[in-house]
A and B are shown apart, each in its own frame.
Chain A
């Protein structure tokens, strides 16, 4: 069965088109990461799934039913952690969960759920006194009521510290193991990387990439980024490197050359530099991370500037030929946060 099915969904607001002709399918039991920068249309898409916002065009089916007519039945089998929500300040945490249990006609023990999300000690406090992270946990507890078939989590880790985000991932994993379908949005890649079977990347209301995490990794896997500390490199040396087979891009960053190249071209690059009389002080490589890919997809303008540097390799790294998105591997434009992007950190 299909848990979520969007066909040709468009949502136009008075001054902006938030979602454009979106097709999206999430199969039963899948953990689907819905990625994109802020303002890409993720929340609008989720609002459409919940019938909070009615699409201008297109069909939306959730758990096999039409959201426009069967919204209440769908939500009886769905747990939702919304984004930008607020709690009922005067009601305690336990009252919130009791309300969800009563609303869903479930038989969960509110205290057990609060314990599961780490709020057992705060159950009797008014939720208005909760911190942002505690409110997030409370909404998660409400979403878990009734063992839903589908969990829709909008930016679930917002407001959580790293330990809280890890607990959130563990709960997502446990729910998926139970058999639930999980659909969650994020603008932070590492959360998706850790738990998702499949990810979709949304930009300006359009799905620009959709694949398994492995698939996306492979899409950039043929390329590595080589960072060479070579203070003496002149334009000739750079040109010599650029001319090498397997090198798709070279940029100079102070005393450092950043070379995008195929894995087996690394020694050629070093050799070419030394042939040009440049002393190579140090070099290291990093695997193009999903962060690079994400930035390439979501900061299209910056990437397109570098697109003319693309060579024949670009065909193999194009994950979806239907769109004219930039070549991920050539993205040297946006500011990389190396501490995040360095291999190993984001896994």
Chain B
């Protein structure tokens, strides 16, 4: 199938990309160093894998570095090929433009997921050696959430890339995506809700509900909500079950909608 062929090609290309290897190695080392640095000293065995992941590694490393790797892996997917001319080679073969965009999301997303798993191997060793209670299930599960976060950012970046005729625009878009979702989301949405006070009052929902919705609308915080619930053994249950469902839905949305929107523009362009 055509989409699979594109996906496999992009996977092979991405795993050979030096930029991604460097970032993943850096990620792996930082997580390991973090795990080692905050390990409990003395005889206390209370410090568990879950706590380390959700309080230390999660907020400081995973939600900042994994989106960065995702954006780096995705931003040149289409525009880079378009600018270099390899897209001509690709579209000389029997691929539709939809196969190209979606195949790239699949191939590069898979490569990133593999990289995230590889990146968590070294920290796992550190945790096994360090005097913490290593919970392999929790660790592996958390890795899946980290990979899902990365894939969402790959998808957003590929969508942006597909909509960009030139590589520079895709790069600007990628930086904007990262800054918006990782650095400024809370500040911007908080301000928006504040400024739109009267409008919000007219809506059939409270400002608090709106804030929660906006919080889980960000793939980064959505993954935080989900992974924290998972580590607390409350996944899709407990008080925040509804919020988690919204978060999961938003993750799916961010993985599908940007590539489709980018495809709309890409499909109409002269190449």
Write the residues of chain A forming the contact surface with B, with a CB cutoff of 8 angstroms: 13, 47, 50, 52-54, 71-73, 75-76, 80-88, 90-91, 95, 99-100, 102-104, 139, 142-143
Chain A residue at smallest Cβ distance from B83:
A86
Q: How many residues of B are counted as interface, with CB atoms below 8 angstroms from the partner's CB atoms?
A: 22
CB-CB contacts below 8 Å: B142-174 with A: none
Q: Is B42 an interface residue (CB 8 A)?
A: no
Contact A84 B2 (CB under 8 A): no
Contact A90 B13 (CB under 8 A): yes
Contact B94 A54 (CB under 8 A): no
Which of B4-12, B67-75, B243-251 lines the interface with chain A?
B4-12
Q: Is B84 an interface residue (CB 8 A)?
A: yes
Contact B85 A85 (CB under 8 A): yes
Chain B residue at smallest Cβ distance from A99:
B9
Contact A85 B89 (CB under 8 A): yes
Q: Could you say which of B94, B96, B270 has the most chain A C-beta atoms within 10 Å of its C-beta?
A: B94
Assembly CA distance A53 to B16 (angstroms)? 32
Choose among A52, A76, A88, A142 the residue that contacts B271 (Cβ–Cβ < 8 A).
A52
Contact B95 A103 (CB under 8 A): yes
Write the residues of chain B forming the contact surface with A, with a CB cutoff of 8 angstroms: 2, 5-6, 8-9, 12-13, 16-17, 84-86, 88-89, 91-96, 270-271
Q: How many A-B pairs with Cβ below 8 Å?
A: 78
Contact A82 B92 (CB under 8 A): yes
Assembly CA distance A302 to B89 (angstroms)? 38
Chain B residue at smallest Cβ distance from A81:
B92
B167 to chain A, nearest CB (A): 13
Contact A80 B92 (CB under 8 A): yes
Contact A103 B16 (CB under 8 A): no
Q: Could you say which of A50, A72, A143 has the most chain B C-beta atoms within 10 Å of its C-beta?
A: A72
Choose among A13, A76, A86 the residue that contacts B85 (Cβ–Cβ < 8 A).
A86
B99 to chain A, nearest CB (A): 8
Residue contacts A-B, CB under 8 angstroms, 29 given: A13-B270, A52-B270, A52-B271, A71-B96, A72-B2, A76-B94, A80-B92, A82-B89, A82-B92, A84-B88, A85-B86, A85-B89, A86-B89, A88-B9, A88-B13, A90-B13, A91-B12, A91-B16, A99-B8, A102-B5, A102-B8, A103-B2, A103-B6, A103-B94, A104-B93, A104-B94, A139-B89, A142-B89, A142-B93
Assembly CA distance A335 to B74 (angstroms)? 51
6 extra A-B contacts, CB within 8 A, seeds A75-B92, A85-B92, A91-B12:
A50-B91, A72-B95, A84-B88, A85-B88, A88-B89, A91-B13
Q: A53-B271, A103-B95 are in contact. Are A95 and B12 (CB under 8 A)?
A: yes
Across the interface, which residues of B come within 8 angstroms of A86, CB to CB? 84-86, 89
Chain B residue at smallest Cβ distance from A103:
B93
Q: Could you say which of B16, B85, B91 has the most chain A C-beta atoms within 10 Å of its C-beta?
A: B91
Across the interface, which residues of A come within 8 angstroms of B8, CB to CB? 99, 102
Assembly CA distance A13 to B270 (angstroms)? 10
Chain B residue at smallest Cβ distance from A100:
B93
Assembly CA distance A83 to B88 (angstroms)? 8
Across the interface, which residues of B come within 8 angstroms of A103, CB to CB? 2, 5-6, 93-95
B115 to chain A, nearest CB (A): 15
A340 to chain B, nearest CB (A): 30
B47 to chain A, nearest CB (A): 42
Q: A52-B270, A54-B270, A91-B13 are in contact. Are A72 and B86 (CB under 8 A)?
A: no
Across the interface, which residues of B come within 8 angstroms of A104, CB to CB? 93-94
A243 to chain B, nearest CB (A): 55
Contact B270 A53 (CB under 8 A): yes
Assembly CA distance A224 to B96 (angstroms)? 52
Q: A91-B9, A99-B5 are in contact. Are A143 and B92 (CB under 8 A)?
A: yes
A231 to chain B, nearest CB (A): 54
Across the interface, which residues of B come within 8 angstroms of A83, CB to CB? 88
Across the interface, which residues of A come within 8 angstroms of B17, CB to CB? 90
Chain A residue at smallest Cβ distance from B268:
A54
